[in-house]
Amino acid sequence: MWILFHKKMKIIRAKIKKAYFDISKQYSDVYHRFLKLDLSDRPAIRGQLEGPISFGLNVLDQDKRPIIFDDTVRPFMYEFMAKRINVQLERLKKINPNAFMFIDEPGLQFLFSALSGYDSTAARGDMEAFLSMIDRPRGVHLCGNPDWDFLLNLDMDILSLDVYLNGDIFSNYAGSIKKFLDNGGVIVWGIVPTNLEPFEAETIDTLADQLENVWNILDKKGIEKEYLLSKSLISPATCCLVNPDGDKTVEKAFHVVQNLSQRLREKYLSGTVSK
């Protein structure tokens, strides 16, 4: 009887621990609504959570200094964020076995700017340790321009970027991009803007031309286009928090993503894409 009691208590404690790291309804009603959907027929689903570098740059200690620079606090912060991501991924996999997580890291583009006290060697070691604590598949999403060599050489499975604004710069890192792909990585090309004004200024033709221009540059630098596309997905360029028309432009952007993807698939399958 006591054995059964202790087993039940162990299960209860585990559930409490997981609930502690999960996102409550108070902070994300959308997340809990998403978990109630029947998504078992989807090829895959994804979750997204703020990454430790962005979190650590935004949370300040008693001296108004970002906790990312505190050598004592930083290791606990990384472990805490890893547990949060794993809890969310576990819940998502219950509604679709192909679920994966994006770690949203806009802070990476500020990490090596004027800020000091956290050099690239320490950051790389901390990020590698952090990623090793996260269940696969694991990915990083960001809208800005980080140190792409730093990011592409981390042990992750998926990289999602805003190629709509950053394609010219990203294409300069062909060596690291190829290494990332050769290691099994997948690139999510964020090409369709979700903000109202840039969205209305573009068409499927202009977006296809812009994306293929980046692919052509990388092809000339030694990454064969067919190989590149076999490891590619297409998505909206950025997250969008505010638009004057609410969520209408975002919904339109996702339809454009679908249509653009289908168009490029047909173009490649028919063999009409040239180098």
- Which pLDDT score, from 0 to 100, does residue 49 have? 87
Instruction: Report which of 105, 111, 171, 92 is spatially closest to residue 141, judged by C-alpha positions.
Output: 105
pLDDT under 50: residue ranges of the chain? 1-2, 4-6, 8-9, 11-13, 272-275
Task: Identify the CA nearest to 189 among candidates 252, 131, 238.
Answer: 238
pLDDT tens column, 185-220: 999 999 999 988 988 999 999 999 999 999 999 999
Fold of 44-269: TIM Barrel (3.20.20)
pLDDT at 211: 95
Q: Which two tokens stand for residue 93?
A: 């996999």
- pLDDT at residue number 12: 43
Instruction: Identify the pLDDT of residue 145.
Output: 84
Please, are residues 81 and 29 in contact by the beta-carbon 8 Å criterion? no
Cβ neighbours for 161, distance < 8 A, ≥ 6 positions apart: 141, 142, 143, 170, 187, 188, 189, 190
Q: What was the pLDDT predicted at 122?
A: 79
The answer to whether residues 155 and 179 touch, using CB atoms and an 8 Å cutoff, is no
Residue type, 90: E
Question: Where are the domains positioned within the chain?
Answer: 44-269
Please give the pLDDT value at position 221: 96
pLDDT for residue 63: 86
